[in-house]
Amino acid sequence: MLTQLRRSAVMVIICLVLFGLAYPLLGVGLSQAFFKGQANGSITANGSNLIGQDWSQTKCPGHLPGSCVFQGRPDNLGPYSDTGKYKGDNPAGHPGDDPLVANGAAGESGATNLGPRSQELVTYTKHLNEYWHARGVNPTSDLVTTSGSGIDPDITPQDATAEIPMVARATGVSSAQLQSLITREAQGRQLGFLGSPFVNVLQLNEGLAKLEHP
């Protein structure tokens, strides 16, 4: 019994040193040496390419907010909807976050967790539907549903195409130009077969800004 206790204590300490300190620190060392950009969050001038942002509040003079940019997927119970109950806060018991403070000190990443027969989900989806229709967009299912992380940075090329009428009207860039921008920015399946094709919303909007101010 005493021998077992002593051995256990020694092994617990060995594991603590090897796997709690040496392993993660080795990871930090190797990652910072070989993949510095990725290891620090893939941060570019306008944010992280991996973390979604809220584009719905972008000021668009003469048009509804958010109409002059491509928008990502909604977050946490429809913050895009004007009547969104949880807009701007993160009440206890509701995992998920507000895109304005995405993944930061004021909110956790996470999903809405609403079930497929949830009355609440019906209500929020209706609000999101109205939100898009007010902007002249016939939404696809990604545009009215929240993601698993709540900070999904991507939409599908079809989702982006659905937003073209809105962006074209607010920016004056022609639909054909927007379509070719989407085609240029779209990423196919990785290695030809993995996952599903997507467009990064931040990169798409950076491309759009270049079209507007060449």
Partner 1 sequence: MGYFWTILTLVVALGLSWRFLGGYMVGVFEGRIRFLSFIERPIYRLLGTSPDREQSWKRYAGSVVIFSGLSFALTYAILRLQGSLPLNPQHFGAVGPGLSWNTASSFVTNTNWQNYGGEETLSYLSQMCALTVQQFVTPAVGIGAALVIIRGFTKKSSPTVGNFWVDITRALLYVLLPIAVVAGIIFVGQGAVQTLSGPVHIHNALNGVSQTIALGPTGFMEVIKQLGTNGGGFFNANSAHPFENPTPLTNWLSIYLLLLIPVCLTYVFGKMVGSIRQGVAILTAMVILFGAWTAIATVAEHQPNPAVQQAGLLHQPTGNTVGKEVRFGVPSSALFGIASTQTSTGSANSAYDSFSPVGGGALLTGMMIGEVTPGGVGSGLYTILIYAILAVFIGGLMVGRTPEYLGKKIQATEVKLAGLGTLIMPMTVLILTGIAVSLHAGRAGPLNSGPHGFSEILYALTSQGNNNGSAFGGLTGNTTFYNVIGGIDMLIGRFGILIPAIALGGVLAAKNVVAAGAGTFRTDNPMFVGLLIGVIIIVGGLTFFPAVSLGPVVEQLSHGKFF
Binders in 128-167 for partner 1, by CB under 8 A: 128-129, 139, 141-142, 144-156, 159
CB of 40 to partner 1, least distance (A): 5
Q: Specify burial of residue 30 (Cβ count, 10 A radius: 0-12, 13-18, 19+).
A: exposed
In degrees, rounded to 5, the angle at the alpha carbon of residue 16 between the alpha carbons of residues 15 and 22 is: 90
> Between residues 8 and 183, which has the closer beta carbon with respect to partner 1?
8
**Helix axis angle, 201-212 to 175-185, nearest 10°:** 140
H helices of the chain, in order, are: 2-15, 23-34, 36-39, 119-134, 141-144, 157-171, 175-185, 201-212
**Minimum distance, C-beta of residue 112 to partner 1, in the bound complex (Å):** 7
Give whichever of 18 and 176 is closer to partner 1, judged by the CB atom.
18
Instruction: Give the SS3 label for residue 105.
Output: coil
Q: Residues 9 to 48: which contact partner 1 by CB under 8 A?
A: 9-12, 14-16, 18-21, 23-24, 26-28, 30-32, 34-35, 38-43, 46-48
Residues of this chain, 164-203, that bind partner 1 according to CB under 8 A:
189-196, 198, 202
- Residue 58 as a binder of partner 1 (CB under 8 A): the answer is yes
Site string for partner 1, 67-106 (x = CB under 8 A): --x---x-------------------xxx---xxxxxxxx
Q: Which range, of 8-16, 79-87, 166-174, 178-186, touches partner 1 by CB under 8 A?
A: 8-16
The residue from 115, 172, 213, 214 that contacts partner 1 (CB under 8 A) is 115
| Shortest distance, position 20 Cβ to partner 1, whole Å | 4
CA distance 168 to 176: 9
